[in-house]
Structure formats: C-alpha cells, structure tokens
Structure 1
C-alpha cells in the first residue's frame, strides 16, 4: 500500500498518452544499456592492481635496499621494506589505486607530488630514528621508486594492442541558444575530457551559431512534449547523456520535471553549473532543506602547500643556477661577442599584490630597443595591453635563438631565489600593462608571477589576451604543488616545440 497523495511509479497505465513518447517507452532500452556503459569507464588498475602495487613495492624497495647496503647502513633490508610500505600507503591514501572517472587527471603527473609527501614523512620519521640516513643517500635510495612509478603510469596509458580506447560520453546539450553555443564551443575546443557533443536541443526558436545537429526545439514555456523531444533527439543521435543548462526559460520546476522523464526513459542527466574555472577537487556537494548546495573551497593562499611551494621554488632555483652555470656563461659570452650592450636586461615588473620588482633576463634586443618601441606601436600583433611582434626588428640574431628556446628567461632563477617570483605562476606584467588592467585582470597579481606557467605551455604569444588572462586566472584559483610539478614537466615539451615563442 502506498501513502495517500504520494507520487506513484510510472507504469503502462500512467504514462502520458503521447504516441511519440509511447514509442520511446516501448522502444528497445538502448539508452539504459548505454547509461550502464557510461558508468563502466571508471578506470583504474583493475585486474592489474597486484602488478601496479608490486611495481611500487619492488621499484622502491629493491633499489633502496641496494643503495642502503652499499652505504653500510645496518638492517638495510628492514629499512627498505618499511620505506616501500610507506610509499604504497601514501599512494593508497591519495587514491592512486582507486578507479578513475573519465576526464579525471592522474597518472605520471601525480607521482612527483606523492613522492614529495613521502619524502617528507620519512624525514619526520628519520628525526626519531636511532640510525638516521644521510639526506643524499636517502634521495638516491628513494628516487628510483619515483621513476618506476612514473614509467608504470605512462606505460598503462599507452595504446597497447587489444586494449580499448577510453570511453566517451555522447552528449546531447539542452538549453537556451547562447548558452548551448558556449558549451558546445568550450567542449569542442579541448580534448582532455570525456564528452563529445553529438546534438543540441535549444529552448525557443533561436538558431544555433555552429553546425551542431538540432533534432528539435523545446517551447519557451513548459510543454507536454519536453521529455519526448529530448529523448527522441538522444535516441536519434545515439546520445548517452543529456547536458542541461538552466536558464530563465528552463526553470527549476521545468528542469525537475524534465529530469524525472529522462531518468524514467533511461537517459542520464548532467546539469551545467554557472560556475567555471574551478577544479572538481574544490567542489563539495551538499543538501539542505531540499536545496542542492555546492561548497567551493577557497584558493590556496596559506598553509602547508604554500610552505612546500616556497621550499621547492628556492631549492629548485639554487640548484638550477648551480647546474646551469656553464650554460649561462656560454650564453653571456655569445651575447657579449655578437652585439653591443650589457649581457643582462633588467626591467621593472609588477609582482604579487602589484608590488614592483626588478626582473632579470638575457638581453635579446639591441641596446636602445626601448627607444624604438613607440615607432613600432602600430605593428603590435596582440590584443590587450601586451606588446608582441612576431618578427621584431629589434631582436638580435642570438636573441632569436634564445627566445625560440626560452633560454633568455633563465636569469629569472635569481628572482625566484630572492622570492620575487615562483618557478610556476602567471606571466609577470609590465607596469604600463597593469595600469590598463580591469578588476578581473588584476586578480592575476594575487600570486607570485612565475618563470613558467599555463601561458607558457599552452601557446605563449600565439594566444589572445583573453585566453592568456583565462589561463592565468584558472591557475590563481586552482593551483597546487601537484599542478606546479605537472606544469614544470610540460614546460620541457613547450620549450622543445618552440611554438608561440617570439
């Protein structure tokens, strides 16, 4: 017996008397089968979990035992075994062995962050140990474990024969035309996610700007055929997910009615939030009084990750200057011998909280380059406040090589060591550029500028000003130590490619 007035589950007698919808209800349950498949692509080690864990255990334990034994450490086998167990514990605690949803980032880029945390834990344990290990020996003993984990992570993502490609969601977008156009454009502009737009159903009669197939339209006001139109479009284009964008014509009650019908028809539903530029890790859903709440964690501005970032910046800068000293000397000699003027170019830039600092670079232009800038203002090839010319006549022959390879930026390691800059962060702007910033663009200065960052690895000068600002704002709000390590790894590829460097 059911409660009086409670909604009853749908059956053949309670379905809407629409012929189109009746055909959909009686059609083969293709959508429901696909929705089951859509949940299946959660990826992880799976049946290879023992091999992955074994690689982590042996990849760290065996080299650590050999190094510790060669160094004469007592009970090297026990120390190596304990270290390998702690390493696997760190990986497990951070859910590296758990299944991943399509579009989740992970793998090789997460391993360096895990390793730094692992080293920190062992350092704390080493302070209470009766037989502490020398830092150099400890790093040599533990580093192979990181390399093995990265190799296994990369290998697991290679397209081995007989393995399936990552499943993609075939998405039907529903919403008002401008918002549908925006969602289709953004989803189509990148490939690092699991969503492919196959069709769209606009609300109202407005036409879409792109060439996305439109199997139908929803009326501006709620109508009896809302569900049948969306289900019919999904069935016609083999979609396994409806991405619905709320708006004035797609109100809360209409969206709820639509969700009931789509779920009853076997089609999963996702609702596009009005928030953008926020990583999933900062979002925590909650419910209160029947309302769905999204708690957004604030950006990292203090705490252990900030301390670790500062330590990585200073240590990396000092080590970089020491290791690259011969290369820096060769570059300095080449600049000095091929053109008149100083080796270094010092320039005032705006740093964190809009505080000025002096930034160092290798000189890549003629000595009086600034005096000719006004004459070239009409040749500026970028929008916004930046000034860039692809074939700038002020750049010297050696300067073109340095800019192409980004070697002219290496002296900024001095700024990183001093604390004016970070290894990773937004591009440090000129004072004249900042004077033209609006409130949105000023948020770029909430963190220290970086030697490299999203701008540098995503196209550099080939990007428009708005694209550059969007990338920097994403970093300002979503950075983490793991993100920094991933960007530093991607910097090598960007430097080798040289795209957008001029």
Structure 2
C-alpha cells in the first residue's frame, strides 16, 4: 500500500524516476501551515492587495466626481446664468445626484475589465477609455429607458471627456508612484525563463521593453543550444529543482509554444511543489484565438478566425466617429489650413492641393488630397529618384528630396501636408485612423500578404505614425497594420489620435 505523508503520495513509489530532491520535497504537503515569519510576509502580500484595490477605488471615485463636477460647472458658466460661486454650488448639488449611479457603474465595468488586477495584469489607457465609453453608453440607455429628459446630452459626452482625462491621469500617477515605492523597497519578482534558444531571446526582449521595475531576470534554462542573449545560463532542465531553491526563483516563464508536453507537466509539478508560479508566453496562434469565435455543434472544438473587416454596427460606429472627428478638427484647424494654403500659393507655382492616386478599400484607387509640397517640374528622372530611395521593400522615401519646396519641407516635417485628407474622410474615402494609403508605385510592388491591409478604409494616421514611422522597415509597418485590424476599437482609434500629436511634434522618424 502506498505510503501517505501529510496528505501527499510518497513520490519515490509513485514516480521512481524523479530526482531525489523533488521526491524528498513531495513527502510533505506544500499547503501545510507555514512558519510564523513566512505567514507574516503572506499577510503583508494580502495587505498590499487590499491597499492596491482601495487606492484605485478612491482614485476612480475622485476621477468620476471631478468629471461630473467639471462638466456641470462648465455648463453652468457657459450658459451665463450663474457666477462662479453659485455655479459651484449648483454643480456640487447636481454631482451628488448622479455620483452614486455613475461610480457604481464605473466600478462594475472596471472590475469586469481587470482594471483592479495586480500590476502585471492591469490594462492601460486603451482599456480605461473603452470602459468609460461603455459606462457612458449604459448610463445614456438607462436614462432614456427610465424616461429622463435632458435639454442636451452634453452631460454624457462632457463627463466622458473629463473622465478620460481625470481617471487616466490619476491611474497613471498611481502606477508611477507605486512603482517607485516598490522599486525603492527592493520589490521584484525573481524570474526564470525556460524554453528553446530563440524563444527565450524573444520573450526576454519583450519583458525588457516594460518598466523593468518588478521583474528581476535571474537567468534561463534552454532545451536547445544556449543563446547569447546576455542572460545567465542556469543549467539543464534536470537541474530545475536545485535552481529554484538556490536562486530563490519566484516565477517561471515557459517561453516556448512547442515546449514538450511531458516535460511541461513535470516542470509545473516541480515549481508548484516549491510554491513557484508558472506562466506561459503565448504563441501567435494563441493570441489569435483570443479574437476567435467558438463554433458550437462540432465533434471537435473549433474556433473561427473572422476576417478583420469593419461591418454592421462596427462600421456604423467607426463611420460616425470619423465624421464627427473630421468636422470638429476641420473647424478647429480652419485658421491653420487657410494660412498653409496662402503660404503654398505665394511661395511656388502650381495648385494649392495635390491629388495623389492611392489605393483605397479593396485596392480601388481614389484621389488622396495633400497640400502641394513639390515644385511642378523638379527636373529629376524616375531612374535618378530610385537611386536616391532610402526605404526598403515597397516604400519610397528620400530624406533630402530635391523636388520639395522650402514650405513643403516644413509641412512634411510636421505632417501638415496630410491635413486636407480630412476632406477624404468626410467623403467616405478614408478614415481618421487606419492603414496608411500607399502611392500606386508602392502598391504595385506589394507582396500578396501585404494587401490584407486594404480590407478596410485607409487612414490619416495609424500605428505606423505612433510606433516609429520611417524608422521601421516595411514588413514591421505591415505587421502593425495587421495588429490594428485585429484589435480595433473606438477607444484604440482615440488613443492613436491622441498619441499622433506628440509623435508629430517630436518629429520622430519623419522625413
């Protein structure tokens, strides 16, 4: 009869081939009562969790209160019926009327979006904006269904705008402050990577791109010839148990989608026996499955990867967003547009606007509007220009293009020549955010897999513009387009638009 010790099977008898250190460890239940000092530390972990949730709830309360109060105060002052003192009193009273419902709705939808999770799992700005947008829509529907009447719906979209500003700012500050405190306290997660050489290198590079405050990479264990990635090799997989104890590892990341199943089970068991967490870095297919739709009624579980096109309600929402955004931007920038038009007309011969034939949705060409930035007759042949091309793949880029005028160079440097494309958005030929339309010369040189980006309307800005722009090679740019198509949302469009401004002002990667 197999011997049982503290609720666990004797591993020597159950798994005779397992290393002795693992067998000895398995003779006791890892869930047994821990020493007093360790129990105290675990209580600190629980306390830290409670403090995290309480502080985020308090900041969200402050953000929602300020958003409602600011929107209502601004409305009272704009109407001109109240001075500042009476406006503050009125806005405070109205804020109390709406606050409980708005805050409860915000907390529920934030919790659903994991916005109160621990730092590694807590989403960022995109999820915050999406959740606040959902709060606004649900509140509006509830108000309409319950028969409440409003002179305008400013309360909803005004509060949404201020909520995005306040809540995201407070949460960013919370992340920075708590990250600094944890860093000063020396809090890190000692992490070990396990997998094959190239996958270890990729995951290590991705983790290094984060804040770096909570992960201390102790090294790696590779199943294949060891990569030269700057990390410390800690031996073979058979040494895992000793490595976990010697280097006080707190979490193991399996950095290989093809990790052998039998060894993975053994690895997880070894880690869990020592209270070490195990994470798995996702493969490309696993990332896609997150967007998949389950097909019921099959003997084998199947998932359908839908084509990344905007249709039905998605298209209606995106088109409405584009129209409202384009009209607002055109109105706000009308003095700048007039100034640029005069400058282009006075400094060189030719029309103010340049019509460039570009492939649109489905590859069908349309006239893409731009402010003219070149002389009408540059006196340079196509062959000479091709020799000057500084981009790779299908792209054509020249840093010091001899055809560009002085005003045109300034417009290009800050991407101001693209502003007339707002008219293309109004006409339904483009979107505010989407894959950039390439000139016909570049389109004709695309490979077939590149053309998937033309399943949707091209955009004025996109992930290209906020992710390095001309510093990236063409294949990287196309992959960014695919990523945008897979993860599109109104909130993502809004985030890209907001990030476009600093990307243009700093002129990162632009020429």
- Does residue 214 of structure 2 align to residue 207 of structure 1? no
Relative to structure 1, is the Cα distance of residues 396 and 69 closer, same or farther in structure 2, using a 3 angstrom cutoff?
closer
Tell me the secondary structure at the aligned position of residue 278 of structure 1.
helix
CA contact (8 A) 1:446 1:476 kept: no
Tell me the secondary structure at the aligned position of residue 252 of structure 2.
strand
Relative to structure 1, is the Cα distance of residues 360 and 111 closer, same or farther in structure 2, using a 3 angstrom cutoff?
same
The 5 A counterparts of 1:271-310 are 271-275=280-284, 278=287, 282=291, 299=308, 301-310=310-319
Tell me the secondary structure at the aligned position of residue 481 of structure 2.
helix
- Does residue 240 of structure 2 align to residue 230 of structure 1? yes
The 5 A counterparts of 1:67-106 are 80-95=95-110, 98-104=115-121, 106=123
1:207-229 superposed Cα distances (whole Å, 9 cap, x missing partner): 314332212134xxxxxxx2xx2
1:50-97 superposed Cα distances (whole Å, 9 cap, x missing partner): 522431442134345545666579x98886545434432442232258
1:4-58 superposed Cα distances (whole Å, 9 cap, x missing partner): 9xx95356887867466579889x999x99x979999879852224522431442
The Cα shift of 1:407 comes to 1.1
Higher alpha-carbon deviation: 141-150 or 458-467: 141-150
Q: 2:451 aligns with which of 433, 442, 445?
A: 442
Residue aligning to 1:499: 508
The 5 A counterparts of 1:18-167 are 18=19, 45-49=52-56, 51-66=58-73, 80-95=95-110, 98-104=115-121, 106=123, 108-121=125-138, 123-124=140-141, 127=144, 129=147, 131-135=149-153, 139-140=157-158, 143-159=161-177, 163-165=181-183
- Does residue 250 of structure 2 align to residue 240 of structure 1? yes
The Cα shift of 1:316 comes to 0.5
Residue aligning to 1:9: 9
Q: Distance in 1 between matches of 2:214 and 2:485?
A: 25
1:178-228 superposed Cα distances (whole Å, 9 cap, x missing partner): 333333344445559965644222214x2314332212134xxxxxxx2xx
Q: 1:484 aligns with which of 486, 493, 498?
A: 493
1:98-123 superposed Cα distances (whole Å, 9 cap, x missing partner): 52243446455445444444444455
Q: 1:217 aligns with which of 220, 231, 236?
A: 236
Relative to structure 1, is the Cα distance of residues 94 and 139 closer, same or farther in structure 2, using a 3 angstrom cutoff?
closer
Residue aligning to 1:222: none
Tell me the secondary structure at the aligned position of residue 243 of structure 1.
strand
Tell me the secondary structure at the aligned position of residue 174 of structure 1.
strand
**RCO greater where, 1 or 2, for CA within 8 Å and sep 6 or more?**
1
Residue aligning to 2:194: 174
Counting helix residues as a fraction of each chain, which structure ranks higher? 2
Q: Distance in 1 between matches of 2:45 and 2:439?
A: 48
CA contact (8 A) 2:389 2:397 kept: yes
The Cα shift of 1:355 comes to 2.1
- Does residue 456 of structure 2 align to residue 429 of structure 1? no
The Cα shift of 1:320 comes to 0.9
The Cα shift of 1:266 comes to 2.7
Q: Distance in 2 between matches of 1:478 and 1:258?
A: 33
Q: Distance in 1 between matches of 2:49 and 2:435?
A: 33
CA contact (8 A) 1:172 1:241 kept: yes
Tell me the secondary structure at the aligned position of residue 495 of structure 1.
helix
Residue aligning to 1:352: 361
The Cα shift of 1:298 comes to 7.0
CA contact (8 A) 1:44 1:100 kept: no
Tell me the secondary structure at the aligned position of residue 52 of structure 1.
helix
CA contact (8 A) 2:433 2:497 kept: yes
Relative to structure 1, is the Cα distance of residues 501 and 94 closer, same or farther in structure 2, using a 3 angstrom cutoff?
same
Higher alpha-carbon deviation: 437-446 or 487-496: 437-446
Residue aligning to 1:388: 397
CA contact (8 A) 2:196 2:255 kept: yes
Q: Distance in 2 between matches of 1:343 and 1:315?
A: 26
CA contact (8 A) 1:199 1:214 kept: yes
Structure 1: stretches of 5+ with no match in the other structure: 219-225, 286-290
CA contact (8 A) 2:196 2:222 kept: yes
1:378-424 superposed Cα distances (whole Å, 9 cap, x missing partner): 22222111011222222222122112211111111111111211111
Tell me the secondary structure at the aligned position of residue 219 of structure 2.
strand
Q: 1:266 aligns with which of 258, 264, 275?
A: 275
CA contact (8 A) 1:366 1:396 kept: yes
Count of matched residue positions in the alignment of Structure 1 and Structure 2: 482
Residue aligning to 1:337: 346
The Cα shift of 1:321 comes to 1.0
